[in-house]
Amino acid sequence: MAKRDRMSGNEAVAYAIKQINPDVMPAFPITPSTEIPQMVSTFIANGEIDTEFIPVESEHSSMSAAIGSEAAGARTLTATSSCGLAFMWEELLVAASNRMPIALALVNRTLSGPININCDHSDSMGARDTGWIQIYAESNQEAYDNFIQAYPIAEDPRVHLPIMICQDGFITSHAVMNIELLEDKEVKDFVGTYQPEEFLLNPGKPMAVGPYSVSNYAMEARYNQEAAMEASKDVIIEVAKKYKELSGRGFELFEEYRTEDADYIMLIIGSAAGTAKQAVDDLRDKGIKAGVLKLRVFRPFPADEIAAALSNCKAVAIMDRTESYNGHGGPLASEVTAGLYRNKVMIDTMCYTYGLAGRDFTVDTVYGIFDELKDIVENGAEYKQHRYVGLRSK
Amino acid sequence: MNGNSIEIRWHGRGGQGAKTAALLLADVCFKTGAYVQGFPEYGPERMGAPITAFNRISDKEIRVHSNIYNPDLVVVVDESLLGAVDVTSGLKENGAVIVNTDKDAASIAGKLNGYTGKVYTVDARKISVAALGKYFPNSPMLAAAVAVSGVMDKDQFINEMRSSYEHKFAKKPEVIEGNMKALTDTFAALEAYL
């Protein structure tokens, strides 16, 4: 039976971790994710779960300890944000290439500088090519739901990859909102017991983890990683279907909100999608056929599925909450436009950078963006294709 | 916002409990079955620096995650913010502002950048010192926010707050009665103006 409650996003993830009761959690605190290890260590101190908590001296060490523990055969997770993720960088790649199904609760915060504690996606987007699955949440509810689906995806023998469950720092991590929680037993049954096929502490089957690989073999290892990432797409969908049977809440690679007959679509990730949905409802009341495509899974990247979903609209606004400093848009802009081109979907695209370092994203901003799309389609207006929204006026 | 909804913006100074008040309001409204949102805006946190916190309370699911620019109600936890912060910015003319001060509404109204809507004042210092022996403005201002907004019935609010305080102050039960008195005294002080 579902339980109605109210929680912040950090509380929701800590609660999911409590229900999962993982074997090991090495962690080092950093705002805004600090509350997660703090709450989990309280659950452990109170005897509510028997997770082994390893306080480490840095994020490089927390990910190193996670790799060691996962290699030993223990279900492992950690949490971090921003510069903490950057400091894990080398180890993120080691975790993925050694095919460690570690879960990481990432509370998105901007990378320095100027130094700032607020939300954007520069941390996780910077780590987009480290070989981790990345799933993003609109709300505390989705952060909870995604976290419960993390291990069934990551530990699936077809996948065996680490997984990052992302939520927006402060915007969802520190906002108290309504939530529906599953019963402990439902979560335990859904997540199951971790039974690695091979692990270091298996005396009957000795193995090496992370040895040097000569050029004759290393490329095949990378290819297998890429194949596993591709295979994870089906697994993510399968797990979501099972999760819907349990919770009633359905998930896909992305959510299509009022896009069926939409002329204009905003493609966006995370909490800002909720704000965009409200704006779309308002615009629909005025007769403007607007919709939202909320990307949930960024790695693996569903390029073909997105292209198909956008194929009937006239223009799309692709929204990046990070900057690539390449002069033509962020990572989402680059990957979506590449996917459209390769699928020969030749609609108008506009790439917007928004919400950097906690800059607020409002329904008014969304109205303005849809106005521009409409202006392009109806009046042939020309705008610079990569634009910033929400900047202070001069 | 859709349906029956109210948006509240809190202005305080770091350390006064404006964020806690916003989270407590979300908590207590949740118990009435409402959809709630309570969140602070984080800057470089320092004691005494101006801070903002927000509430959305609705009978429909809340999806907007932005700050609140056109609130129905503004609660000013620290009078010294008037002049330093444009507290009534975007406040609906048919809304209201509550200011923590020992002055009356008429003498505060002139300091609100021309706001012509309803102005209420609460002497949270006097109420808090009388009830708790110390100055904690957030309980009186929380009660004032509920009294003025009418987001929930007074008796239900008082009952729910008792259980919230019993939970929150499990290790300091001696402050529960004082906080309860601060709530009821605030309702009593505002009664004549509502």
Q: Which of A139, A172, A178 lies at the smallest CB-CB distance from B30?
A: A178
Q: What tokens appear for A232 in the block?
A: 């994870």
Closest CA to B58 of A137, A170, A278: A278
- Per the CB < 8 Å rule, is A274 touching B26? no
Q: Rounded to an integer, what distance in angstroms lies between the CA atom of residue A107 and that of residue A111?
A: 12
Mean pLDDT for chain B? Answer: 94
Q: Rounded to an integer, what distance in angstroms lies between the CA atom of residue B12 and that of residue B136?
A: 12
pLDDT in tens, B77-123: 999 999 999 999 999 999 999 999 999 999 999 999 999 999 999 99
- The residue assigned the tokens 């707050």 is B161
Contact between A111 and A122 under an 8 Å Cβ cutoff? The reply is yes
- DSSP, collapsed to helix, strand or coil, labels residue A135 as strand
CB proximity B62 to A under 8 Å? yes
Beta strands in chain A (DSSP E): 3-7, 24-27, 52-55, 77-80, 103-108, 133-136, 163-168, 176-181, 254-257, 264-269, 290-295, 297-299, 315-320, 348-353, 386-388
Give the per-residue pLDDT at B45: 67
Q: Return the residue in A33, A46, A178, A362 with the most chain B beta carbons within 10 A, the one to mutate for interface testing.
A: A178
Give the per-residue pLDDT at A25: 98
pLDDT in tens, A15-67: 999 999 999 999 999 999 999 999 999 999 999 999 999 999 999 999 999 99
Residues of B in contact with A272 (CB under 8 A): 65
Domains (range + CATH), chain B: 5-191 (3.40.920.10)
Half-sphere exposure of B154 (CA within 13 A, CB side): 13
Tell me phi and psi for residue B30, to 5 degrees: -55, -40
Q: Which of B26, B42, B63 lies at the smallest CB-CB distance from A6?
A: B26
* Helix-helix angle B124-132:B176-191, to 10 degrees: 140
Tell me phi and psi for residue B13, to 5 degrees: -120, 145
Q: How far is B63 from chain A (nearest CA, A)?
A: 5
Class of domain A3-247: alpha beta
The reply to whether domains A3-247 and A254-388 share a CATH topology is yes
- Per the CB < 8 Å rule, is A6 touching B27? yes
pLDDT in tens, B7-41: 999 999 998 889 999 999 999 999 999 999 999 99
Closest CA to A103 of A159, A158, A47, A48: A159
Domain ranges of chain A: 3-247, 254-388
Does CATH number 3.40.50.920 belong to domain A254-388?
A: yes
Q: How far is B92 from chain A (nearest CA, A)?
A: 17
Task: Please spell the DSSP secondary structure of A256-278, one letter per residue.
Answer: EES-TT-SEEEEEETTHHHHHHH
Give the per-residue pLDDT at B1: 39
Going A92 to A148 to A354 to A254, the CA torsion angle's sign is positive
Q: Radius of gyration of chain A from Cα atoms?
A: 21
Contact between A76 and A26 under an 8 Å Cβ cutoff? The reply is yes
- Per the CB < 8 Å rule, is B39 touching A360? no
Contact between B35 and B7 under an 8 Å Cβ cutoff? The reply is no
Give me the interface pTM, i.e. the ipTM: 0.94
Residues of B in contact with A32 (CB under 8 A): 42
